[in-house]
């Protein structure tokens, strides 16, 4: 049974943690730590203008000797955000994340952000799907 992104969002929830592009990177890292997430959507109102991740922070602030309190989110965010439609298959999300080397995928429909999938969400979903398939095959083989 193939699982859709919308079904996965329905199970995991569609909380969206975001920050504005003018906020400091320090604020972004603080929110990530408080919420236990590895990335935040960068939003101007309802408009998705980027994503900032822990990876952006380590590569574009720490390694360059910059100060997170003086650096703006807009300076280090990824502005070309890779998004998926809620009707996508979870397997396709895994392929896209692997190919593009991203760990977070905003789910967008009609320019509205519906939620975010992390690589962990996708892996857990695929494991659950495969486990269910194995159970069905074992039941079939055993004649139950």
Question: How do residues 2-41 score in pLDDT, each as one tens digit?
Answer: 688 999 999 988 899 999 999 999 999 999 999 999 999 9
pLDDT score, position 131: 65
Give CA–CA dist 64/80, Å, rounded.
22
pLDDT score, position 1: 53
> Among residues 79, 73, 80, which one has the least CA distance to residue 21?
73
- pLDDT (tens digit, 9 = 90+) per residue, 93-121? 999 999 999 999 999 999 999 999 999 99
**Cα–Cα distance list, 14 to 10, 25, 118, 141 (Å):** 7, 24, 12, 38
pLDDT score, position 67: 86
pLDDT score, position 57: 93
pLDDT score, position 101: 94
E strand map for the chain: 18-19, 39-44, 47-53, 104-109, 112-118
Residue range 56-80: mean pLDDT, rounded: 91
pLDDT score, position 98: 95
pLDDT score, position 104: 96
pLDDT score, position 3: 81
Give CA–CA dist 7/4, Å, rounded.
5
Give the list of residues 6+ apart from residue 112 with CB closer than 8 angstroms, or none.
46
Domains of the chain are 5-142 (3.10.580.10)
* Backbone φ and ψ of 2, nearest 5°: -75, 140
Q: What mean pLDDT, rounded, does the chain reach?
A: 91
E strand map for 15-131: 18-19, 39-44, 47-53, 104-109, 112-118
pLDDT score, position 138: 77
């Amino acid at each position: 049974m193939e699982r859709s992104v919308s079904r996965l969002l329905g199970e995991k929830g569609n909380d969206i943690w975001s920050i504005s592009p003018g906020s400091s990177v320090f604020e972004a890292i603080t929110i990530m730590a408080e919420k236990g997430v590895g990335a935040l959507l960068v939003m101007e109102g309802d408009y998705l203008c980027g994503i900032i991740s822990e990876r952006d922070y380590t590569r574009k602030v720490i390694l360059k000797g910059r100060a997170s309190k003086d650096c703006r989110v807009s300076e280090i965010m990824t502005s070309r955000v890779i998004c998926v439609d809620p009707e996508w298959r979870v397997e396709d999300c895994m392929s896209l994340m692997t190919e593009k080397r991203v760990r977070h995928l905003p789910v967008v429909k009609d320019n509205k952000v519906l939620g975010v999938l992390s690589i962990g969400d996708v892996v857990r979903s695929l494991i659950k799907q495969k486990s269910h398939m194995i159970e069905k095959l074992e039941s079939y083989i055993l004649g139950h």
